[in-house]
Amino acid sequence: MVYLTHSVATNRGGMELIGRDLMVFLQESFEITIVSGDSRQQLPEGVRAVRVPLPRRPAVARIWLYRLLAPFLSFRARRQSQLVYSNGAVTTVRSDVTTVHLCHAAAQRGAHSATLAARWARAAALRLERRQIGHGAGRLVAVSRAVRIQLEHEYQQPSLVINNGIDLHLSRVRRERGDGPLRCIIVTHDFLAKGVPLAIEALALTHQVTVTVVGSGDINAARESAQRRGVAERITFLGPLPVDEIPYHEHDVVMSLSGYESFGLTMVEGAAQGCVVVATDTGVAGDFVEAGAGVFVTRDARDLVRAWSIVGEKDAWHDMSQRARHVAQQFDRGAMRSAYLALFEQLVSR
C-alpha cells in the first residue's frame, strides 16, 4: 500500500493522530510505503518512507509543494503497489481510496482565516480538492456524516462514512455535576479558530461558569483579554497535554466553538467521559444534539451564555451526560480500524 498524507506528526492535530493510528494498525496486513513530509525518525518502525521536503510553515507552501513533489517522488512505489490510499492529502495523485477529513469547499464558508497566508492556503487547497475529487479520488470516505453531506452538496459525489474514533478505554467518567459553577473545557491548537476569545467574552456575562483551555495558542493575549474583562480567575490555561492526561472527567461541558469542524475529536473525547457537548453546528455535534446530549450555539457570547444556562441545571445535566456517554460509544477507534481494513481487503481481492 502507498499511503499518501501530509503528516502523521501527532502534535499537529486530530487528523494526524488518526492517520498515524490507522497506519500502525494497517501494518499488520499491508506493507506500507508512506509519502509524507515527516522525517524517518517520526514514523513507526517498519514503514517504508518517501519523504516530501515540506516547510513547517506557511500552510500554502506545504500544500503546493506536496502537490508538486508527491506524484513524482512516489511514482516508483505506486507502480509496485496494489493499493494507493490518500488520507487527508490534497494531491493530484490518483488514489483507490481517499479519506476526506476536511471538505475545503464547505470550510471556505465557515472557518475564519485570520491571516493572508491562511486564506491563500484555503484557496489553494480548494482548487486542488476540486481537481482531486473530480478526477482522481477513487472511493471517497467521509470521516463523519456531516462531511458526507458536504461532499454530496458541493460535488454531488457519494461517499462511505467511516467515523473517526477514539480509544474508549482511556475514558474516566465523571458522574455528578456538584454544586459549584459549571466547569467547561476547550481543547485546541488554535485559540482564535476554536473560539477561546468568544468564551472569554461570554465569561464576562455570567458568574456561574469557569473555563479550562488545553492546548497551544497565544496564551499571553488570551490572559490579557481575560484580565481586561475581569474574568482571569475563572479561566485556566493548561497548555498542550497528551490525550490521556486531558482532564475531561473533571469538567461538566466540553465546548467546540469552531466555524468549521469536519469531525471534532475533542467533542467525542469529552462526551465519553461524561461531558455534555456545547458546540457550533459542525462535525459530529449534530449527533450529540439530536440525541439530547448537547446544545447548539452560535459564535455569539450571549448565545453561549444561553447554552450554559440550559445545561447548567443539575437534572438536565445528569440526563444529557448519560446520553453523551452513550452516543460516544459509536465512535470507537477499533470499529474505525476494522471498517478500513474490510474496505481495503475488498478492493485488493477484486
Phi and psi at 82, nearest 5°, equal -80, -25
What local confidence, expressed as pLDDT, does residue 35 receive? 96
Question: What per-residue confidence (pLDDT) applies to 312?
Answer: 93
Predicted model pTM: 0.90
Rounded percentage of the chain residues whose pLDDT exceeds 90: 68
**pLDDT (tens digit per residue) in 193-203:** 889 999 999 99
pLDDT bucket at 80, cuts 50 / 70 / 90: very high
The predicted structure's pLDDT at residue 328:
97
Average pLDDT, stretch 102-125? 68
Tell me: the pLDDT tens digits for 142-161? Answer: 999 999 999 999 898 889 99
Q: Residue 133's pLDDT is what?
A: 84
pLDDT (0 to 100) of residue 2: 96
Instruction: Report, as an integer, the average pLDDT of 49-67.
Output: 86
pLDDT greater at residue 108 or residue 338: 338
Question: In the structure, what pLDDT confidence band is assigned to residue 116 with cuts at 50, 70 and 90?
Answer: low
Domains contained in the chain, CATH given: 2-165+332-348 (3.40.50.2000), 168-328 (3.40.50.2000)
d(CA 331, CA 265): 9
Distance CA(156)–CA(159), nearest Å, equals 10
Residue 126 confidence (pLDDT) above 80: no
Mean pLDDT of 268-293: 96
Residue 118 scores a pLDDT above 70: no
Q: Do the beta carbons of residue 209 and residue 297 sit within 8 Å?
A: no
Residue 64 near residue 53 (C-beta atoms within 8 A):
no
Higher pLDDT, 123 or 344: 344
Q: Would you say residue 114 has pLDDT above 60?
A: no
DSSP state for residue 83 in the 8-state scheme: -
Report residue 12's pLDDT band, with 50, 70 and 90 as the boundaries: low
Q: What is the pLDDT of residues 168-180, one digit of tens each?
A: 987 787 667 778 8
What contacts 24+ positions apart, CB below 8 Å, involve 49-56?
Answer: 50/74, 50/77, 54/6, 54/7
Q: Cell numbers of 164, please?
A: 473517526
Report which of residues 334 and 131 the model is more confident about.
Answer: 334
Eight-class DSSP state of 243 = G
Q: Average pLDDT in the 24-34 region? A: 94
Report whether pLDDT(212) > 60: yes
- In the predicted structure, residue 110 carries a pLDDT above the cut 60: no
